[in-house]
Chain A
Amino acid sequence: MERSTWGTRAGFIMAAVGSAVGLGNIWRFPYVAYENGGGAFFIPYLFALLTAGIPILILEFTIGHRYRGSAPLSFFRMSGKKAEWLGWWAMFVSFVISVYYAVIIAWAMRYTLFSFNQAWGEDTEGFLFSDFLQLTVSPGETGGIVWGIFIPLVIVWVITLGILLAGVKKGIELANRIFIPTLVLIFIVIVIRAVTLDGAAMGLEAFFKPNFNAIMDPTVWVAAYGHIFFSLSVAFAIMITYSSYLPKKSDITNNAFITGFANSSFELLAGIGVFAVLGFMAAQSGVEVADVASAGVGLAFVVFPAIINEFPGFNGLFGFLFFLSLTLAGLTSLMSITETYVAGFTEKFGISRRKAVAIGGGLAALISILFATQGGLFFLDIADYYINQFGVAAVGLVEVVMVVWILRKAGALQDHANEISDIRLGGWWKFSLGVITPIVLGYMMFGLLRLNIFQQFETDTGNYEGYSNMFTLFGGVAVAAGALIFGILFSLGKWHKNYRYYDEHSEHPAKEKE
């Protein structure tokens, strides 16, 4: 069985950028920067990009390229069973994320249509929670299926799985070559319109005005490293899987630089667009930018619709473009997240891509219906928090510690990257991976563990968002722990004979062992 490959280098880069650029770039980065020193945040942000983001990207690109497999197979080929579980863990973290991420894309898709006549009306918050999400149940209860979410959810899965069925080159690559330039173009149009609005300068002032005192605060640095880490799609098994489809002669290091800078460039563009319209909103309402600045679901589905209502003209078009950009950014990320387990299942069980898409994607689609119920938002919120903090961040920490300190593979991987890349990796790469990243992620993880174990959130229950102990345990902790447990269980089984052996000097190792 010959391994799929990307058609072109640009195709691979588009796919990697498509994976990295997601909803977080639009609705998370601007607020994180604003909250953590405004313009001064760029200093820790750039440090984090160059000492954690890009080094981890290079690490994952190198692992995938050298061992030529999905994340579990690559780790298995690197060091056998003692490393394989880490790949499965990352893969199951991706599986969990895909099941709720699809639902957010479904919301964005529906809001794209709502934009034409501003169906959300004047009370955008009431519309989102009561009319659209029909959030009338308590956390932990499902209620009935919300058909207005279920139908676009089916469309999201049909598009995603259809693209994956078409394969790496004719599916993922082609889709990204269309979606990413379209997304960038749409966002440029949004930004041009946004910065020409009344009050835009006030928003940009709030976003860029540097508060240099903030960079003396260690939490700002942790926020910068945390953001870079979550933003680049590292520790998701994605970048390992994607780079395993690269041809043997590939410039890994420069590909990582392009991906990292492209992701940050888009974030900056998004920050300008978001804060320009927030400035407009503040000017219209006669309030400060601080009063309208927000992030996440609230920013996208409450604040933005309210801003679109106030637009001086072409309200429908602006809304359509904004929610279409969210949909496209989400779809390119979802296909990459889903590809991790399609590749993993194909290789572990020796099944066809079609079967892996049907089984893996079908199962994820089925589970995602839970998030299309009346209580779906609560399940989504708690799963998202726990899987990100104790899934993605934990995988990232364990990954760098294992590869650099336990398996001692950093040297071999550095040699491999240097052999095929123009930009040679020096001591900064190993130092970043072996020292800076573990310290920052370890510090972050320690704080998170303390916050959760000792229930130190400033809420009634002391839990995240004030959820009950039972809901926190089953909706969050069990989901994050489940990814690790499934990861360990899957690593116990044998690999299909086509993938069991590996000759790293061969172009097509699996084919030669058939």
Chain B
Amino acid sequence: MSVSAIVVMIIGMVLLWGGLAASIFHAVKSSKANKAEDLG
């Protein structure tokens, strides 16, 4: 594979899979915070 194809593949993975991971992480974090708020 050429360097340009490898770079695009890695960027695509980082942006899309990273975007998914970041939004799930945000959801988990805010749900924990909400639970703590409800209890507190």
Query: Which residues of A pack against B, CB within 8 Å?
Result: 9, 38-40, 42, 46, 201, 204-205, 207-210, 251, 254-255, 257-258, 261-262, 264-265, 268, 272, 422-423
Known: A39-B12, A210-B8. A204 touches B1 (CB 8 A): yes
Contact flag A39-B27 (CB < 8 Å), given A257-B19, A265-B16, A268-B12: no
B9 within 8 A of A: yes
* Measured CA separation A397–B26 after assembly (Å): 31
Q: Is the CB of B23 within 8 A of A39?
A: no
The answer to whether B16 touches A258, judged by C-beta atoms less than 8 angstroms apart, is no
Q: Which residues of B contact A208 (CB under 8 A)?
A: 1, 5-6, 8-9, 12
Given contact pairs A9-B31, A39-B8, A46 touches B15 in the complex (Cβ within 8 A)? yes
Please give 9 more A-B residue pairs, beta carbons under 8 A apart, in addition to A42-B11, A209-B2. Answer: A38-B8, A39-B4, A204-B5, A209-B4, A209-B8, A258-B27, A261-B23, A268-B13, A268-B16
A-B contacts, 14 listed (Cβ < 8 Å): A9-B31, A38-B8, A42-B15, A46-B15, A204-B1, A208-B8, A208-B12, A209-B4, A209-B8, A210-B4, A262-B20, A265-B17, A268-B16, A423-B26
On whether the beta carbons of B20 and A258 are closer than 8 Å, the reply is yes
Contacts of A209 in B (CB 8 A): 2, 4-5, 8
Please report the C-alpha to C-alpha distance between residue A257 and residue B20 in the assembled complex, in whole angstroms. 8
Is the beta-carbon distance between B16 and A264 smaller than 8 angstroms? yes
Would you give the shortest CB distance from B37 to chain A, in whole angstroms?
Answer: 11
Report the Cα distance A423→B30, complex, angstroms.
11
Give the CA-CA distance A59 to B8 in the complex, in Å.
31
* Contact status B30-A261, CB under 8 Å: no
The range of chain B's interface size is: 20 to 34
Q: Which of B13, B16, B24, B26 has the most CB of A within 10 A?
A: B16
List of B residues within 8 angstroms of A422 by Cβ: 26, 30
- Contact A201-B1, Cβ < 8 Å, known A9-B27, A251-B30: yes
A268 x B4 contact (CB < 8 A)? no
CB-based contact B26/A42 at 8 Å = no
B27 x A254 contact (CB < 8 A): yes
Which A residues lie within 8 Å of B31 (CB)?
Answer: 9
B20 touches A261 (CB 8 A): yes
Pairwise interchain contact B20-A251, C-beta atoms closer than 8 A? no
A-B complex: 7 closest residue pairs judged by Cβ atoms: A39-B8, A261-B20, A208-B5, A257-B23, A261-B19, A209-B5, A208-B9
0/1 interface trace, chain B 14-40, chain A, CB 8 Å (1 if under): 011101100110110011000000000
Q: Which residue of A lies closest to B31 (CB)?
A: A9
| Candidate in B11, B12, B17, B26 with the most chain A CB atoms within 10 angstroms | B12
CA distance A264 to B17 in the complex (A): 8
Contact across chains for B5 and A210 when beta carbons are under 8 A apart: yes
CB distance from B23 to the nearest CB of A (A): 4
Residues of chain A within 8 A of B27, CB atoms compared: 9, 251, 254-255, 258
B23 touches A254 (CB 8 A): yes
- Complex alpha-carbon distance, A204 and B10, angstroms: 12
Most A C-beta atoms less than 10 A away, residue of B1, B13, B23: B23
Question: Chain A residues with Cβ under 8 A from B30's Cβ?
Answer: 251, 254, 422
B29 to chain A, nearest CB (A): 9
What A residues does B16 contact at CB under 8 A?
A: 261, 264-265, 268
For A208, give the chain B residue with the smallest CB separation: B5
Complex Cα–Cα for A261 and B13 (A): 11
Which B residue sits closest to A39, measured CB to CB?
A: B8
Is the Cβ of A265 less than 8 Å from the Cβ of B20?
A: yes
Q: Is the CB of B12 within 8 A of A42?
A: yes
User: Shortest beta-carbon distance, A373 to chain B, in Å?
Assistant: 40
Residues from chain A with a CB closer than 8 A to the CB of B9 are 39, 204, 208, 272
Give the chain A neighbours of B1 by CB distance below 8 A: 201, 204-205, 208
A423: chain B residues at CB < 8 Å are 26
In the docked arrangement, what's the CA distance between A42 and B7, Å? 12
Contacts of B6 in A (CB 8 A): 208
Pick the residue among B5, B19, B20 that contacts A39 (CB under 8 A). Answer: B5
Q: Residue on B with the closest CB to A46?
A: B15
Distance in Å: Cβ of A179 to nearest Cβ of chain B: 18
